[in-house]
Each structure stands twice: as structure tokens, then as C-alpha cells.
Amino acid sequence: MKPTSVLDTIHQPSDIKKLTPQELPALCREIRRELVSTLSRTGGHLASNLGTVELTVALHRVFESPHDQIVWDVGHQSYTHKLLTGRRDRFSTLRQEGGLSGFPKHQESEHDAFLAGHSSTSISAAYGLVTAKRLQGDDGHVVAVIGDGAFTSGLAYEGMNNAGRSRDNLIIVLNDNEMSISKNVGALAKYLAVIRSKPEYFKVKDFTESTLKKIPVVGEKLRDSISASKSAFKQLLYHSNFFEDFGYVYLGPVNGHDVDSLCEVLERAKSLHMPVLVHIETTKGKGYSPAERNPGAFHGVSKFEIKTGEPLKKGGENFSSVFGRELTRLAREDKRICAITAAMQDGTGLDGFAQEFRPQGRFFDVGIAESHAVTFSCGLAANGMLPVFAVYSTFLQRSYDQVLHDASIEQKHIVLAVDRAGIVGDDGETHQGVFDVAMLSSIPGIIIYSPASFRQLTRCLRSALYEDAGVVAVRYPRGGEPAFPPGYPDQGGDYSYYGGGETLIVTYGRLSAEAAQAVELLKGQGKKVSLLALTKIFPLSEEVLALVSSHQEVLFVEEGIRSGSIGEHLASRLVERGYRGKFTLRAIENQFVPQASIPSALHSLGLDAQGIANTIIGESL
């Protein structure tokens, strides 16, 4: 078929090098149309990808992928990269079950150098990649593309510090769009604003070096002499440069939407054969006006109407919004309550809290710094405040040491509001919230709640705030309230028990509704089954253990990893009590759960109503 557009001619990255400079802007426009069109049908990360179109084109025009490797920090801005590396024909499957991942995956393409789904790993990974190249005699380059939001994480500085001492072909592209997910905060954001507003030093430096080079015989010596005293020159003109102090050649700021300028600066960085930091400025949501106006709302989108940007399906009440509203109400009653987020104000439902309590200094967005958020919360607690750290389950994993060491040893009373607990769906392995229970339940003195309804969430949040304990976690799923069949009212307290038979299903959280539906399915087949739906899931009380022990057959179903699960804790406690009945645990069998819709994932794992019923009656899944 004859190509009808510039994008139609791109089947691999080397094809970009065949284009004329005049064709590159057209290619970028076509990519943006493809992104908007596809994501309006599949959902995904839109604003971040629209902001990195020219950068991606320039990277593939200058470098030789996969020999030269590109590491995308977080990876949610790699959609253009996928389009340009032979995956356009599958792009419509993005984030669908069995389709393309929304993040880089080496198993998917040799052009994806490193798996990414969490922030701030790119510099460390890229330094490891380029070091391995050098040790193997490979002179290829490695480029780490990292956003200014990701630079709020300490891991980025650990990588920067270590790599800056090398002489390797490492290039860091700092994509400065003044956004992470929520708007950037902190000292680094202010520092980058200064750099953006005062590029004089770099202009003078470039002009001076180029002029001196042209002077016959003595030009190079004069340039070297001035370079030796450049610190004084910088101090006079610019007050020094943070990145150069780390050991990097600094190039920028550069217009991140000018392909020619990007290619020029990347060629220059490539020629230096040492660590270089290229600072580019981009606009998140570039080229699609609804996303430009409100990039936060278009960070992650569901299906939407292209013309207006409005979602095709209006979002209703969800656990995050209920949490945020209830925490705001409680904070009006108790001035000790503070809320902390790690660049996820919108996602964790804290918009209303921030609006009301930021002026009072009781709302803190610490940037992408989950470890700091926990220890900061501990400091607040040590001096009498009631801190609530709202964080996605998958990102809480980054704070294990702080929860264990800083919070638990001396029992600092902090509340972890663990959002997106359990299966989250289309973002896949990197974002499934299935490890938090196993992680947290290993920590001495911790209390964990897992509500199944909005009403339970509000009750658990209040209990968590005023528990006489150290760390208390309240974990809840993504999305709306699960549907319970009639006859399963919330009984209050730490659990709800619905009797009926000698066989007992035990579960918690969202699966409580699935288990209740399974009981109804089994009832229709003449099998009577009891249900114990836990709300306070750890530690297990003697009352719960006695109730479970009174049944001859027990099935524990859990939307979490099997190893270290509540089901394992329960089984161990039952053995200690001399339980002689039959105990079966159905959980996620120590695996990473691939992308799929939540209902599909639960079904494939045998954790939906039918799967639970099948386990009871002994049918194969």
C-alpha cells in the first residue's frame, strides 16, 4: 500500500533519518493525531505523551536504537517511542488484555531498554546499562529521559551522584514541563524556574568558547585557561549550576518542541563522550487544547470525546473521593489531622482537603518522594499531629524501610491510606496493588483495615485515626463500591458474619461482594455456605479465630499475593489452635498480574463469584 502520510513511512527508527527536516514537523503533527485518536478509544496517559513527541522523534533521529539505548523514566510517556519502533500496527491494543503495555517492556521490543512503571529509576538504570557497555567494549550511548517531577525523588539524586563521577556515554534528558501528576512543588521546581528565566550564562559560555576557538594558535589555550576559572565566572554571572556541580556538562534550556534545536543539542551531547545533562522545556498536553488547558486531568484518561475532551462515561463516586471527603470532614473537627501526598493530590481524592487546609499548613505534597513522606509523617506524629499519608499501594512499596524502621520501632502513630489496593487493571504488572498486605503484615504492631464499602471506609478511617497504636493502614480498591446481593447488610464492627452452613468462606475488601454472590450461586445449587467478611484484617482477633474454627471446611479467598497473605497468617493461627478441619487458601500464586480489566483479571485468577463457587464445589477452573 502506498504511504498516505509521513508516519506511514516509519516502520523502524532508522526510517526517521531518511526524512528531510521539512518533513519532521508534519510527522509530529501526525503522531499527535494518532495519540489522541487511539487514546480516545483505549484510555491511557495522554498529556505526558503529547509533550514528548518532538523529543522522541529527535532521539531516534540522532541515536541508533537499539544499539544506543533509551530509558524512559516511569515510562508512561513512551507511546510515541512505541509508534516509531515497529509497533504502530498493534497500537490500538494499548493497555488492553494481551495487547501493548502502557509502559516500556523489554519482552515487547528490543527498543525498550528497561522496564519502568515507577518514578525516578532511569538514571540509575541508564548508568548500569552504559557501564556494562563500556566493560564489554561497546561505545554506544545510553539516554535517560526523566521529568522534573521525577527529580523530586531521592533515587534520582543517588543515580546522578554516582554517574556524574564516570566518563561514560551517558546523557540525561531533563524534560521540564513544570508538572509531575500534580503540579510540581519544592526547592527543585523553584530552581528550574530560575534556570528557565536566566539562560544568559549558557549563551555567554557558548559564544565565548566558539569565539576563542577561532583565534589562531592561542585560541585553544585561552579557552582552557578560561575554563579553569569558570567557577568564578559562573558565580559572578549565574551563581553556579547545580548539575555541573554533580559532574555533568549542562546543555540548555532548549525548546522541547523544536525538532531542529533538539537534534542539534543531542548531537552535541553525543559528541562529548561524557555525562551530559540536556535540559529541555516542554508543554504537557501539547497540541491538544483540552489537555494543554488541564494537563492534570489528562494525565491518565479513560475513553473520551475528542472534540470536547469530555469522558464518554462520567465517573461516579469512588473510594478515593469518599476518603478525601471524609478526611476533610474529620479535619474540621480535629486540628491535629494533616494530609500528605506524594504528587498524587488528584488521584488520592485530596483536592478538597488541599483547598481547605493548605492555607492552614495542614496539607503537604512532598513530590514523588514516598520514603520521605513516611518519615516526614513520623516527625509530625512525634510532635503530636495526626498525619495521614495517602498513597497508591504500588508506590507504598518504596517506603517499606521507613514504615518498618522510622514508624514502627517506636510506634509513631501514622495512618497509611492505601489507595488502589488489589487489582487495578490496565496499567498491568507495575501498578497492581497486590503486595501491600504481605509487606505490611510482616511489620510488628501494625493494624490493617480493608473496607468493602464506602460506609465501612468512613468508619475505618475514624478508627485508624484514633487507634491506640503505631502504624495503621486503611486499604481500599480502585473505583466504585462493589455490588452486594440483597441480604448482606454491613453489620458494623471488625467483621460481618452470615451463617448458613458448615463450609465457610472468609475474605475481605472488594472480594467480600464477590464471595457474597458466590454464596448465592451455591445456594441456588442447594449448597449452604457461610460467609465471614473481615474489615479489620490484621491482627486476627481471638473472636475471629474461634468463629473460623467452628466450621469444618474453610475457604479463604484473597486479592493479594499468597506468600505472606492474611490467609497464610490465619492458617498458621488455626494450626496453633489445633484446628482439624479442611482449610483452603485461594490467592494470587506469587506471580505478577498482567494488564486486563479488573473483572477479567479477577475471573482469570478464579477470584470472582463464579471462581469462588467453583472452588467450593471442586470444579476445575
Q: What are the catalytic residues?
A: 284, 370, 398
The CA distances from residue 70 to 115, 145, 250, 255, 434, in Å, are 11, 7, 19, 20, 29
Coil vs helix vs strand at 612: helix
- Determine the Cα–Cα distance for residues 576 and 277; give it in Å rounded to an integer: 59
Coil vs helix vs strand at 519: helix
Burial 302-320 (b: 16+ CB within 10 A, else e): eebeeeebeeeeeeeebbb
The C-alpha cell at 21 is 527536516
- Determine the Cα–Cα distance for residues 336 and 385; give it in Å rounded to an integer: 5
Q: Are 394 and 118 in contact (CB under 8 A)?
A: yes
- Determine the Cα–Cα distance for residues 278 and 246; give it in Å rounded to an integer: 14
Strand positions, DSSP E, 30-107: 69-72
Q: Are 386 and 334 in contact (CB under 8 A)?
A: yes
- Determine the Cα–Cα distance for residues 439 and 433; give it in Å rounded to an integer: 11
For residue 221, count other CB atoms closer than 10 A to its CB: 11
Residue found under cell 486503611 = 474
Report CA 590 to chain centroid distance, whole Å.
21
The C-alpha cell at 29 is 503533527
Burial 411-428 (b: 16+ CB within 10 A, else e): ebbbbbbbbbbbbbbbbb
Q: Is 99 exposed, middle or buried (0-12, 13-18, 19+ CB in 10 A)?
A: middle
Dihedral of alpha carbons 156, 148, 435, 337, sign: positive
- Determine the Cα–Cα distance for residues 445 and 435; give it in Å rounded to an integer: 18
Beta-bridge mates of residue 388: 339, 415
